């Protein structure tokens, strides 16, 4: 039986953490954001949107530091002692996860070859019991996504401080246009470059000496 390799890597601090005992199963749900509408005389229709953020849920226990090894035969105890020496102590593990959650660190969550996502801890709940030295826990991660960075990379739009979307400053500009009756260098510059102050560049590119000269029907190059 192959053991899952579970590792949490803190990209903010360079720290890494492995679980001493893997959960029996791990929940890795992926959902789509959808809305259902009721159309009169037709019925319900569903509109699928973009996907929701990914989540990962881990539930198990942190054993008390090697105390249970005394109950095993010497050979098995030595083997497990060597294995557990690569992990942090129970308190160190809990403190580390609590600090990661508090500091909102970005954590790389790796589950063998099945899962590799940049996430943040959304919930860490250790549970202690009077009659049990082990600490049970629920550890939930939520996918880290930076919308401002995503939209910047896509070049589609930016997010303003009020949460609304602004059109991208970058616009597609044609190579040339044919001037109409009401066009002049200033209006063409403002329309196609976003600023009328660029009109001298248009004049220079198109070898126009008189700024007031009629441009009707003239092919104007917008590349400079």
Buried b (16+ CB within 10 A) or exposed e, 66-88: beebeeeeeeeeeeeeeebeebb
**Cα 88 to Cα 164: distance, rounded to the nearest angstrom:** 45
In the prediction, which pLDDT does 192 show? 81
Among the listed ranges 85-89, 139-143, 183-187, 200-204, which one has the minimum average pLDDT value? 85-89
Cβ-contact 43, 120 below 8 angstroms: no
Over the chain, what is the mean pLDDT? 77
How far apart are the two ends of the chain, measured CA to CA in Å?
66
The pTM for the full model equals 0.53
- pLDDT band (50, 70, 90) for residue 58: very high
- pLDDT band (50, 70, 90) for residue 130: confident
Among the listed ranges 42-46, 72-76, 128-132, 195-199, which one has the minimum average pLDDT value? 72-76
- Give the residue with greater pLDDT, 85 vs 156: 156
Residue 103 above 90 pLDDT? yes
Residue 123 above 80 pLDDT? yes
Coil, helix or strand for 66? coil
């Amino acid at each position: 039986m192959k053991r899952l390799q579970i590792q949490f890597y803190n990209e903010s601090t360079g720290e890494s953490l492995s679980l001493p005992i893997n959960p029996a199963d791990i929940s890795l749900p992926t959902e789509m954001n959808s809305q259902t509408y009721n159309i009169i005389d037709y019925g319900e229709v569903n509109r699928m949107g973009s996907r929701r953020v990914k989540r990962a849920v881990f539930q198990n226990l942190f054993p008390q530091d090697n105390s249970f090894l005394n109950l095993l035969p010497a050979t098995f105890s030595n083997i497990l002692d060597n294995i557990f020496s690569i992990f942090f102590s129970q308190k160190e593990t809990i403190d580390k996860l609590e600090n990661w959650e508090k500091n909102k660190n970005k954590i790389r969550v790796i589950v063998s070859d099945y899962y590799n996502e940049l996430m943040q801890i959304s919930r860490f709940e250790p549970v202690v019991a009077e009659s049990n030295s082990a600490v049970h826990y629920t550890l939930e991660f939520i996918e880290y996504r930076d919308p401002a960075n995503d939209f910047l990379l896509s070049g589609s739009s930016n997010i303003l401080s009020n949460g609304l979307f602004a059109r991208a400053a970058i616009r597609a500009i044609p190579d040339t246009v044919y001037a109409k009756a009401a066009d002049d260098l200033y209006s063409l510059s403002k329309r196609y470059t976003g600023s009328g102050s660029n009109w001298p560049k248009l004049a220079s590119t198109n070898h126009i000496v008189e700024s007031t000269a009629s441009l009707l029907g003239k092919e104007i190059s917008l590349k400079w």
